[in-house]
Structure 1
């Protein structure tokens, strides 16, 4: 007996994209996530044009194009002065959708709404605990003593993927850089929220990206500051804000800055890791479960949803008997070299 044709582990952008794409092809799907509820915080906040096109093809773009900020410029400063401006519209990119500055939580919300339209809800608080593969399917043991029988399993459960660990797939790599301070803050300063900004400084890079405030009509800013030496340090939100209040005027040379509060904060260390194999028989991994890299360039959500769309249409053809399982090998053949390139260039 089969409970579902595909079990998707993880309800982030990658897992939700895979689930929507599979449902559009008529494949039955269950989506489980170990978290008790959707996250309101957002490590990622940049969706490149190609990622927005994937959401559009799935019917999952929703109102993101209207509610997000179109990220049309990146202005880089040295010694407080702008030295370069990249305008995305000037580089000849042919796309039906612009890049979007939108919190990951909003992207996930839009995907969940589309998945619900397709008849599937996320099963929250359901942790994958064991996998047993057989020639005709996979038995998955989940929290609470339940079992799910699926034809295929898609592991989209992030950098610490339980799915990847259960199939014995190594995740080789190394830390790339020392620690960064991250925070989503309400602040007053003279910069307009119509693009992103960066400052090159001897003490470290500083970046700022605007987003719509999910809890109000205003703007919140994602601040990212390279701050070496914090790898083993636990900082509270107040301590992170105190450091940012010192760092901002020093690195931007803007004196009129008032940081009010933070809706989210973190101390983040960049790792570069890549799985050797994306498929073990009937279990496949995608997104951060398969590769992690520096957030420079904001390619995290893009690579994840790209993996998911590539995998889902192939899996659907195999499940419907319109292609042999060998087609699934092209998923790794096409997506892993791209991940290698992203790891190399972001590093």
Structure 2
């Protein structure tokens, strides 16, 4: 069962259903949200959505990609960062993405049970008993093997399990408005205004409108700020507001769940961690959780892998979530312009980070999602560093590992790799070969997981056999050994 039909829960449901796992999706809302909370879809998330055959459906709804980030620092200085094509974030309103995910889920004969609230969760040795409440119905029960709680920062799943949500609330209020502006550039630039008046950001939207985001030092989230006032703070009093589609005033929390798993119940997305919107990492981190967990659950449910594989979910995803919280926290601190020294600090930090290449070398790769490195876990060899194998894109809904031979290998060596691969059903049925136009000075064999990450990389057949032995001993079902 998946609780929560946002991007995280829908991704998990599609991944499971696509692998032949029966899945039920419930959401307490009566219908999908219409307001757009998250916007940014970074390249790694686009890879996942492409593998799920979702991205083509939304491409026609948004071909807006941010190609530049600009900072006006309020001291007659500015910083502008041009983004290469392969690093651009796509601006994709959350309702558009969710609708595409819902339709893809429907293609797999699964629908969302809207207006269904989770009332109680009781775990037992064979799974989980859940009590649900739906409009016009009495409370009803069901038994499921696993639950994925993807029901947001106010997660009912986390609350029912009594899991603490550890962290703090930023002592400031934040304001958001989706507007149609008059007299403001309609381009692909994300603009930040940092001055004595406060922090304001303006992001273009696919429909030609703009999202305005501002910080104020009030700690009451009920404090409102009009779009005109936000523009004034940015020094844009001459810009007019033709219409306002949506506004929101809120607080920002930086929290992480005490645990991502309790028995057969897992937490993912905002239910497991929440952070500042700085960097636009919300959708990416949640979909990353779903992508990591779903192939492991399906492999266990199909009996290919042992339940010990599931221990790797929190081991791998907690450091990623914490890194996002830490990184976005630093960025959010630069929104604080409440004192002169903080404004001087912010101005220096923006300019220094750009001049020293920190933004391009460290921040942008982290935002893209390709820099995440998982620590050793049951799904990851301790003998090699975890890395995303970008040159191989696994087909959608794979459940086994894939051996990829990079560089030049003889037919006899490829046959031996195939023999080693054929030892267990967990491993793929064929060896993929990748040859470079320029021959490599060092050959390699990469064991690629269904989520596109490398379980390990070795340089010869002896170490390949050792690596496969370690995986088979760690979490492959011994009953499926071949030969």
Normalising by structure 1, we get a TM-score of 0.89
Deviation of 1:190 (Å): 2.9
Q: Alignment partner for residue 257 of structure 1, among 221, 229, 239? A: 239
Q: Which moved more, 1:131-140 or 1:286-295?
A: 131-140
Q: Which residue of 1 aligns with 2:81?
A: 86
- Check whether the contact 1:77–1:199 (CA below 8 A) recurs between aligned residues: yes
Q: Give 5+ residue unaligned stretches, structure 2.
A: 330-483
Measured against aligned partners, the alpha-carbon deviations of 1:294-338 in whole angstroms (never above 9, x if no partner) come to 000000000000000000000000100111111111010110001
Q: Which residue of 2 aligns with 1:334?
A: 316
Distance in structure 1 (CA, Å) of the matches to 2:103 and 2:44: 21
Asked which structure has the greater CA Rg, the reply is: 2
Distance in structure 1 (CA, Å) of the matches to 2:152 and 2:118: 13
SS of residue in 1 equivalent to 2:297: helix
Q: Which residue of 1 aligns with 2:466?
A: none
Deviation of 1:247 (Å): 3.1
> Given the superposition, is the C-alpha separation of residues 87 and 65 from structure 1 closer, same or farther in structure 2, using an over 3 Å criterion?
farther
Q: Which residue of 1 aligns with 2:166?
A: 172
- Check whether the contact 1:75–1:82 (CA below 8 A) recurs between aligned residues: no
Q: Which residue of 2 aligns with 1:224?
A: 213
SS of residue in 2 equivalent to 1:70: coil
More strand by share: 1
Distance in structure 2 (CA, Å) of the matches to 1:58 and 1:318: 20
Q: Which residue of 2 aligns with 1:189?
A: 183
Structure having greater relative contact order (Cα 8 Å, sep ≥ 6): 1
Deviation of 1:139 (Å): 1.0
Q: Which residue of 1 aligns with 2:48?
A: 54
- Check whether the contact 2:173–2:221 (CA below 8 A) recurs between aligned residues: no
- Check whether the contact 2:61–2:96 (CA below 8 A) recurs between aligned residues: no
Q: Which moved more, 1:56-65 or 1:24-33?
A: 56-65
Distance in structure 2 (CA, Å) of the matches to 1:247 and 1:158: 28
- Check whether the contact 1:52–1:99 (CA below 8 A) recurs between aligned residues: no
Distance in structure 1 (CA, Å) of the matches to 2:82 and 2:111: 39
SS of residue in 1 equivalent to 2:21: coil
Q: Alignment partner for residue 59 of structure 2, among 33, 54, 65? A: 65
The answer to whether residue 272 in structure 2 is matched with residue 290 in structure 1 is yes
Deviation of 1:230 (Å): 4.8
Distance in structure 2 (CA, Å) of the matches to 1:294 and 1:233: 18
Deviation of 1:231 (Å): 1.4
Q: Which residue of 2 aligns with 1:4?
A: none
Distance in structure 2 (CA, Å) of the matches to 1:50 and 1:232: 33
Q: Which residue of 2 aligns with 1:142?
A: 132
SS of residue in 2 equivalent to 1:333: helix
Write out aligned runs for 1:233-272 (5 A).
233=222, 235=224, 240-241=225-226, 244-251=227-234, 253-272=235-254
Distance in structure 1 (CA, Å) of the matches to 2:84 and 2:74: 27
> Given the superposition, is the C-alpha separation of residues 82 and 259 from structure 1 closer, same or farther in structure 2, using an over 3 Å criterion?
farther
- Check whether the contact 1:287–1:305 (CA below 8 A) recurs between aligned residues: yes
Deviation of 1:202 (Å): 1.6
Distance in structure 2 (CA, Å) of the matches to 1:296 and 1:177: 16
Q: Which residue of 2 aligns with 1:77?
A: 72
Write out aligned runs for 1:312-323 (5 A).
312-323=294-305
Q: Alignment partner for residue 193 of structure 2, among 171, 190, 199? A: 199
SS of residue in 1 equivalent to 2:148: strand
Task: Provide the alpha-carbon RMSD of the alignment.
Answer: 1.7
- Check whether the contact 1:188–1:259 (CA below 8 A) recurs between aligned residues: yes
> Given the superposition, is the C-alpha separation of residues 332 and 79 from structure 1 closer, same or farther in structure 2, using an over 3 Å criterion?
same
Measured against aligned partners, the alpha-carbon deviations of 1:84-137 in whole angstroms (never above 9, x if no partner) come to 2222217x75xxxx5211111111111111111111111100001101111111
Distance in structure 2 (CA, Å) of the matches to 1:279 and 1:180: 31
Q: Which residue of 2 aligns with 1:216?
A: none
Q: Alignment partner for residue 116 of structure 1, among 101, 106, 115? A: 106
SS of residue in 1 equivalent to 2:165: coil
SS of residue in 1 equivalent to 2:326: helix
